[in-house]
Amino acid sequence: MKLFRQRLLQAPDKPLVVMNMIELEAKENPWVGVRKAKPGAGGERKVGRDGKGRFVEYENAHIYFHPATGAHAIPHGGLFEAYAERKWETGELGFPVRDFTKLADGAVMAFQGGVLYRKDGKDHHVVKASSASAGRSRATRRARSAGRRRTRSRTARAASVRRSSTASSSGTPQAR
């Protein structure tokens, strides 16, 4: 459902009914608690470098929204505080892109600039997207290189077969 709403917002023909994605996210996640700002768009704070982002503070979370990423709740008690240490949406992480996942001993949440992992009672860690994509590009280069080697050996074998078939048709003995 969340993906549908995000695609609806990105559609060239905007919907006639304007949905408040932050309020919808809060309604779908009652654990966030009571809204601390006035209701509606008037209680939302504009944030982000492009000015298109918004957030609202709730009793147990902050809900962030950006048209490119949708609305996502960041829970207090670990993840939000770690996000604050990283300078919120203006820092290296940017806006959240996925809902958080509660783990047995902490939580994890994906952002535009990486993944934030918070273990209960411990410091947080960030795995940046660039290191994952760098690893992916190394793996891609290796796979392409291996593919070229396979292609070269197939080409060499095919040429050898062509030479041998030409030699056998001319009546000369084949050398191996």
Whole-number pLDDT of residue 84 = 97
| Structure tokens that stand for 12 in this block | 């060239």
3-state class of 15 per DSSP? coil
Quick one: how many helices (H) and strands (E) in the chain? 4, 8
72 has a pLDDT exceeding 90:
yes
3-state class of 72 per DSSP? strand
Q: What rounded mean pLDDT belongs to the chain?
A: 81
Mean pLDDT check: name the lowest of 18-22, 82-86, 108-112: 18-22
Report yes or no on whether pTM surpasses 0.75. no
Q: What does the pLDDT look like over 9-49, one tens digit per residue?
A: 677 676 556 679 999 999 999 999 999 998 888 899 999 98
* DSSP code of residue 16: S
Long-range (24+ apart) CB contacts under 8 A made by 47-50 are: 47/88, 47/89, 47/90, 48/89, 48/90, 48/95, 49/90
